Structure 1
Amino acid sequence: MYIPPYHAETDLDTVQSLIDAQPLGAWVTLSPDGLIANHIPFILDRSRGEFGVLRAHVSRANTVWQRFSTEQDSLVMFQGPQSYITPSWYPTRLSEGKVVPTWNYAVVHAHGRPRAIEDPRWILQLLKDLTEHSEAGQAMPWKVADAPQEFIERLARAVVGIEIPITKLQGKWKLSQDEAMPDRLGTVAGLAALGDANSLALARLVEEQIK
């Protein structure tokens, strides 16, 4: 991924936190027939390795678990807040006119070689961990144990676990760092005025970069 120095996010906790907040990853791996891409939710185990380990599961019917490369790294991409940035938010458009649109975003790329796991105990624990992470914000969190055990075990047999130890972790926070300060402040105000959750989250990120 092309990352100018002023767009590089190198704080490990910040990069890992985006994965926690946006766990749906675009997993791309090489197969004998070319590239395979799947969109699946991951959970990050920060306690293992330098950058952590990604854990997930795929349907047993999805042959990616039999076809992914064990010789080349896979790539998993996580997308944070993003938005089109209009020059109409830039005060300098009136004084100088030398402005153009852009796109702001925060993304994380995780590299590593995956392995498939068919151990029923591992898969069951993964399902519990994924559920606990995803249900954390609910008023009455649902638990795997709330469903009949036989039902859960039957569903667990229909999936295969995926584990990817991260060997390289890149964060790109493209947040108007190369714009004039009045235009950066205008971007924060413009995004905040849109009012939706994505725009507000992006406005906070742009503001954090200014501070």
Structure 2
Amino acid sequence: MYNSKPHQEHDLGRLHQQMLETRLAVLVTHGEQGLLASHLPVLIDTGEGEFGTVYGHLAKANTQWQALEQGGEALMVFAGPDAYVSPSFYPSKAEQHKVVPTWNYLAVHSYGCAQVIHDAAGLLEIVSRLSDLHEQGRSQPWSVSDAPSDYIDGMLRAIVGFRLPITRLQGARKLSQNRSAEDIAGVREGLASSADHQDQQLAAHMRPL
């Protein structure tokens, strides 16, 4: 992705944190069917491999898994909060009017070649871990083992899993770093005072840069 130097994020811990906080990632592939994209909940194992490993699954009817099986590089996009930045947020606007709107955002792109998983044991582990992840914190968390085993077996036959070891990561942390300290403070205050939840989230990420 295009990412100017002031906004590049290289800290692996921050990159992983953004990935873990993204509830729905986008898997992008290019194969015989052309460009394909799917929105998926995924697992991030940050301790597996140099940059971590992504686990997930697709419906078997979703032929994107065939592009993964062909061995080409895949891209997974983890988008964070984003916000419109009004020129009115900048104190410098009162001094000179050479300001225009922009957009601030957080994003991580991860790349790698996936291994496709068809076996029932591997699929069961993925769906169980995903369910446990999103059920945690509930007073009565649901577990895959709560459903009849024959029913789960049928569900597993309808999906294809994948394991994607990350070979490279790109992070964008565009938080007005190219502006003066006064303008950055103005953007932070403007977003924090917004009624929009994403604006408030992004303002929180601006402390500190």
Residue 115 (str. 1) matches residue 118 (str. 2): no
State the match for 1:147 in structure 2: 147
Give the number of aligned pairs: 209
State the match for 2:52 in structure 1: 52
- Amino acid paired to 1:172: A
Residue 7 (str. 1) matches residue 7 (str. 2): yes
Using the alignment, how far apart are the partners of 2:64 and 2:110 within structure 1? 18
- The DSSP-based 3-state class of the residue aligned with 1:58 is strand
- The DSSP-based 3-state class of the residue aligned with 2:206 is helix
State the match for 1:198 in structure 2: 198
- Amino acid paired to 2:88: S
Cα distance per residue 1:155-209 (max 9 Å; x no partner) = 1211110111110011110110001222111111111111443222100112220
Cα distance per residue 1:24-64 (max 9 Å; x no partner) = 11111111132111111111112211001110000011111
RMSD: 1.5
State the match for 2:134 in structure 1: 134
Percent identity between matched residues is 38
State the match for 1:186 in structure 2: 186
- The DSSP-based 3-state class of the residue aligned with 1:207 is coil
State the match for 1:165 in structure 2: 165
Unaligned residue ranges in structure 1 (runs of 5+): none
Q: What's the offset of the Cα at 1:69?
A: 6.2
Cα distance change on mapping 1:69 and 1:153 into 2, 3 Å:
closer
- The DSSP-based 3-state class of the residue aligned with 1:194 is coil
Using the alignment, how far apart are the partners of 1:68 and 1:169 within structure 2? 18
State the match for 1:79 in structure 2: 79
Using the alignment, how far apart are the partners of 2:143 and 2:134 within structure 1? 10
On the 8 A contact 1:108/1:169 being kept in 2, the answer is yes
Using the alignment, how far apart are the partners of 1:156 and 1:208 within structure 2? 45
TM-score (norm 2): 0.94
Q: What's the offset of the Cα at 1:89?
A: 1.3
On the 8 A contact 2:69/2:115 being kept in 1, the answer is no
State the match for 1:16 in structure 2: 16
